[in-house]
A and B are shown apart, each in its own frame.
Chain A
Amino acid sequence: GAGVSQSPSNKVTEKGKDVELRCDPISGHTALYWYRQSLGQGLEFLIYFQGNSAPDKSGLPSDRFSAERTGGSVSTLTIQRTQQEDSAVYLCASSFRRGSPLHFGNGTRLTVT
């Protein structure tokens, strides 16, 4: 597609439920990132995929968070047993190579009730 696509755009879930957020990066981009943006906060790095290398998971806030990138393209961010503090906008970005600008999707707004 023309840009980074994220789905769903909005997700409301009950506390304790699992959620999956999807990201379709720009075709040909080898790097894929997940960030989290909480109300009034800056962007918090979560995880980074580069080609076939092991992902950099250093930003994941707890073991309830995990992410996969299948076939070097689509990525799924999974949050298990959601908590209210998980409520935020989850942004996905991709880039062509190191040093190239990141292109962001419109994000998924997650609300945990």
Chain B
Amino acid sequence: SQELEQSPQSLIVQEGKNLTINCTSSKTLYGLYWYKQKYGEGLIFLMMLQKGGEEKSHEKITAKLDEKKQQSSLHITASQPSHAGIYLCGADNNQGAQKLVFGQGTRLTINP
């Protein structure tokens, strides 16, 4: 079965600094989704990537999918306290039902 590994598991950065979170798959990714979760809340959809080499940006967050479609990165520029939370990557296993598999998440803390 497809597994997703996220790194780092936790990250503490000073406000204003840039940061990157990685998501690596053991198999080809047919759809890669990035979500953000705050404590006690559901997952908020950030971006979806499907094509090798694809890159998408929203405000200060950029997500990329490599050409081989086995690794994705999420980059935050000039981090703000509002960026704090848990970031999860999810992938479509492209087998029958769209049963998204998720990584373990990266807990991001922004220090003022």
Contact = CB atoms under 8 A, between A and B. Distances in A.
A106 interface: yes
A105 B42 contact: yes
Contact of B45 (A31, A91, A103, A107): A103
Interface stretch (B53-61, B73-81, B94-102): B94-102
Contacts of B40: 106, 109
B31 interface: yes
A53 to B, nearest CB: 9
Interface string A40-72: 011101001010000010110000000000000
B42 A104 contact: yes
Chain A interface size, as a band, is: 20 to 34
Contact of A107 (B42, B44, B50, B101): B42
A70 B42 CA distance: 23
Contacts of B48: 101
A50 B42 contact: no
A99 interface: yes
Interface of B: 31, 33, 35, 40-45, 48, 50, 88, 90, 92, 96-105
Interface of A: 4, 31, 33, 35, 41-43, 45, 48, 50, 56, 58-59, 91, 93, 95, 98-99, 101-107, 109
